[in-house]
Structure 1
Amino acid sequence: MSWTWSAEPDDGSVDLAGLGLDQQFPSQGEAESWLGEFYPGLMDAGVRAVSLFEADRKVYGPMPLEPEIT
């Protein structure tokens, strides 16, 4: 199975080309590690939340990329 990230909502307001969201990962852990490294660039590009998919099944999300303020 492949694991992928998707911008949520993908309403076309953010140019997703070149952000890496088209990558496929062999495991959930590798997908989550990638996000941990690259989420600042996604936020800079205007992505506010992502969802994780295993093939066509949504595993979780949308998950905000901005830190929670407590």
Structure 2
Amino acid sequence: MAYRWRYEDSGGGELSGPAVEFEDQDEAEAWFSAQWDQLSTTGIEQVTLLDGDDEVYGPMSLRPAE
């Protein structure tokens, strides 16, 4: 299976975003760490990590902790 991020609005609705797939979870998380601030400027509010169609974790907010 391939890891990928599902991009969502604040209500959990799916949004379009970079269609990137990763061989493992570490690679997916490293990419996200480098890209999250850019993703947050496009209207993406939260993300969920998927392994194929299975949710690994999420949703995870892109907003700074208060």
TM-score by length of 2: 0.85
What is the alpha-carbon root mean square deviation over aligned residues?
1.4
- Name the structure where strand makes up a greater proportion of residues: 2
1:11 shift after superposition: 4.8
Alignment partner of 1:6 is 2:2:
no
Unaligned ranges ≥5, structure 1:
none
Q: Distance in 1 between matches of 2:25 and 2:5?
A: 10
TM-score by length of 1: 0.81
Post-superposition Cα deviations, 1:6-49, rounded to whole Å, max 9, x if no partner, equal: 0122355xxx3xx42x1100000000000000111110001010
1:67 shift after superposition: 1.6
Query: Sequence identity, in percent?
Result: 33
Does the 8 Å CA contact 2:3/2:22 hold for their aligned counterparts? yes
Unaligned ranges ≥5, structure 2:
none
4+ runs deviating over 4 angstroms? none
Q: Which has the larger radius of gyration?
A: 1
Q: Which amino acid is 2:41 matched to?
A: D
Label 1:59 to 1:68 Cα distance change in 2 as closer, same or farther (>3 A): same
Number of residues paired by the alignment?
A: 63
